[in-house]
């Protein structure tokens, strides 16, 4: 076995993954499309730990909470089993942005972990195989294996072997600007796993979500290939608002927004009236991610930074593939 270090970026979905057809394998009902986010990264170091009885997990320098450590250990088991290894592992995870607040830190975490753990177990996996492995940790992690613009194909097979992400355009195909407006630091109330389960079983709008999702995917895919910010932005906003409508209509309801979330939406719409080409999307949390042409990014970030309730803004753009940085 080896000691391996890998890095992966977060991603933001423009057409969302919202609803699992298989809870254990993280198999989605629909496809989804995302942009991998440069600079919002997680690094994972995975090393054999023969002297330890069990795995150890450090997150940003501190022992991981029990539930997180368990989730990561279960993921390590999947890779170990595949490599016929049993050795406990020492894992160190460092994330450069607020964890579990709706910037999909689980995506960069499990993508980086998939790459590092496979290398630590001396498994040579293709990007498609890594995407499938990462998906088992967290669905959206399947997309963070690739850089640029990425589509996760939902697949049909019950073992998940055809449910993986694939790049549709490279990062330099279209240098999109991304601004993340942080409206709330700290953990969200209901995680995406519970949120999706409630949406599937308890929201009367879930069937409408399924019936209309393919059109959004087509519009967004076509818009990305044509570098058409208006087409992508309007379809992404529509898809995001539908996802939140499904969530709000669940029993009990899922409220992911804070008052400042709505204030940012309002400001984005005003900025459009003032001539900027910016569009919002929101995941299962209160932060707002805004896309715009890269040369408008600073102006958009400055305007959103002044919205009452916005703590700070993060700037990003399409980022690179998950990468193995070191093996020894």
The contact set with ligand PMV (CB under 6 A) reads 13, 16-18, 32, 104, 106-107, 138-140, 192-193, 283-284
Residue closer to ligand PMV (CB basis): 17 or 149: 17
Determine if the peptide bond prior to 252 is cis (ω within 30°): yes
- The SS3 of residue 43 is strand
Least separation in angstroms between residue 137's CB and ligand PMV is 9
Least separation in angstroms between residue 90's CB and ligand PMV is 25
Query: DSSP for 97-144?
Result: S-TTSSS-HHHHHHHHHHHHHHHHTT----HHHHHHHHHHH-TTHHHH
Least separation in angstroms between residue 71's CB and ligand PMV is 11
- Contact criterion met (CB below 8 Å) for 146 and 167: yes
User: What is the token pair recorded at 58?
Assistant: 């450090």
Residue closer to ligand PMV (CB basis): 116 or 240: 240
Residue closer to ligand PMV (CB basis): 23 or 298: 23
Least separation in angstroms between residue 65's CB and ligand PMV is 17
Say how far apart CA 261 and CA 244 lie, in whole Å.
Answer: 12
Say how far apart CA 57 and CA 9 lie, in whole Å.
Answer: 20
Residue closer to ligand PMV (CB basis): 5 or 10: 10
- Neighbouring CB atoms inside 10 A of 126's CB total 9
User: What is the token pair recorded at 28?
Assistant: 């989605």
Residue closer to ligand PMV (CB basis): 18 or 149: 18
Least separation in angstroms between residue 241's CB and ligand PMV is 13
């Amino acid at each position: 076995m080896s000691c391996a270090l890998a890095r992966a970026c977060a991603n933001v979905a423009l057409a969302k993954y919202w609803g699992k057809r298989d809870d254990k394998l993280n198999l989605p009902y629909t496809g989804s499309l995302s942009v991998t986010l440069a600079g919002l990264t997680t690094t994972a170091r995975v090393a054999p730990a023969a002297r330890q009885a069990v795995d150890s997990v450090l997150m940003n320098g501190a022992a991981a909470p029990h539930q997180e450590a368990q989730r990561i250990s279960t993921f390590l088991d999947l890779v170990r089993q595949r490599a016929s290894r049993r050795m406990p592992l020492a894992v160190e995870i460092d994330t450069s942005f607020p964890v579990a607040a709706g910037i999909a830190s689980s995506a960069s975490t499990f993508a980086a972990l998939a790459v590092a753990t496979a290398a630590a177990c001396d498994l040579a996996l293709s990007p498609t195989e890594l995407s499938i492995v990462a998906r088992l940790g967290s669905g959206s992690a399947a997309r963070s294996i690739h850089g640029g613009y990425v589509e996760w194909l939902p697949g049909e097979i019950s073992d998940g072997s055809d449910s993986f992400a694939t790049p549709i355009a490279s990062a330099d195909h279209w240098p999109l600007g991304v601004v993340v407006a942080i409206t709330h630091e700290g953990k969200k109330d209901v995680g995406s796993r519970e949120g999706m389960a409630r949406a599937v079983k308890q929201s009367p709008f879930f069937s409408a979500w399924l019936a209309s999702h393919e059109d959004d995917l087509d519009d967004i895919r076509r818009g990305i290939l044509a570098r058409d910010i208006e087409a992508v932005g309007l379809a992404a906003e529509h898809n995001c608002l539908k996802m939140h409508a499904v969530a709000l209509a669940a029993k009990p309801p899922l409220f992911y927004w804070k008052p400042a979330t709505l204030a940012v939406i309002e400001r984005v719409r005003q900025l459009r009236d003032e001539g900027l080409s910016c569009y919002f999307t929101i995941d299962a949390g209160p932060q707002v991610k805004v896309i715009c042409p890269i040369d408008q990014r600073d102006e958009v970030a400055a305007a959103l930074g002044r919205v009452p309730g916005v703590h700070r803004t993060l700037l990003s753009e399409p980022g690179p593939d998950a990468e193995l940085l070191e093996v020894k």
